[in-house]
Amino acid sequence: GPVDPLMLAAETALLVDLESGEVLYEKNTENPMKIASLVKIMTAVVALEHSDLQKNITVSAHAAAIGENTMGITEGEIYTLEELLYGLILNSGNDAAYAIAEGVSGTSDKFVLWMNIKANELGLYNTFFADPSGLDDSTRSTAADLVRLSRYAMKNPDFRTIVKTNNVNLISETH
């Protein structure tokens, strides 16, 4: 089909059918680029693989104070990992990202180490994570690595359920 001219203007672009993994369009997919909220895919993957959806996580002062896109959690509140994952994906919640990282591994630094170990395991050799949220500009990846990560994430039924809910919400909001 026709390719959106806006996409052609992009520095790097990749259009993928996540169900089949088929690449529909690509441009400069090996160029390192900032990936912002796509970091949250890896945060979700690592959390799901290291913890249980029903695990209770208490929000720290640090997690509650993380700015920009937030789920709106408050210090001392307790959520299940599942609830925080919805906040992470649906609200692109940076506060949820830190609460998850701390709740699953003890510290955000340790969690980021796990993210980078997982990236290496998956062969994402052009990817580096600096934080669990994507706010840190030193995080880097490529479109090609992000496809590998997305396809891997979509194999996890819990991840798929959360992402599907996101799509349902987007549809209901626009009508």
The pLDDT value recorded for residue 174 is 38
* Average pLDDT for 17-24: 60
Q: For 129-175, give the DSSP string.
A: -SSSSS-STT-BB-HHHHHHHHHHHHTSHHHHHHHHHHHHHHHHHH-
pLDDT tens, position by position, 48-83: 999 999 999 999 999 999 977 788 899 999 999 999
Residue 133 falls in the annotated catalytic set: no
For residue 112, what pLDDT is reported?
98
* pLDDT confidence tier of residue 43, bands split at 50, 70 and 90: very high
Q: What is the pLDDT of residues 153-165, one digit of tens each?
A: 889 999 888 877 6
Distance CA(162)–CA(85), nearest Å, equals: 8
Return the structure tokens found at 57: 């996580």
25-34, 77-86, 130-139: least confident range: 25-34
55 is known as an active-site residue: no
Among candidate residues 20, 27, 37, 150, the one labeled active-site is: 37
In one letter, which amino acid is 98? Y
Residue of 40, 105, 141, 150 marked catalytic: 40
Catalytic residue among 51, 60, 92, 172: 92
Q: How far is CA 38 from CA 57, 99, 141, in A?
A: 23, 17, 10
Paired tokens of 99? 């609460």
Residue 40 annotated to the active site: yes
Average pLDDT, the chain: 81
Is 31 or 153 the better-scoring residue by pLDDT? 153
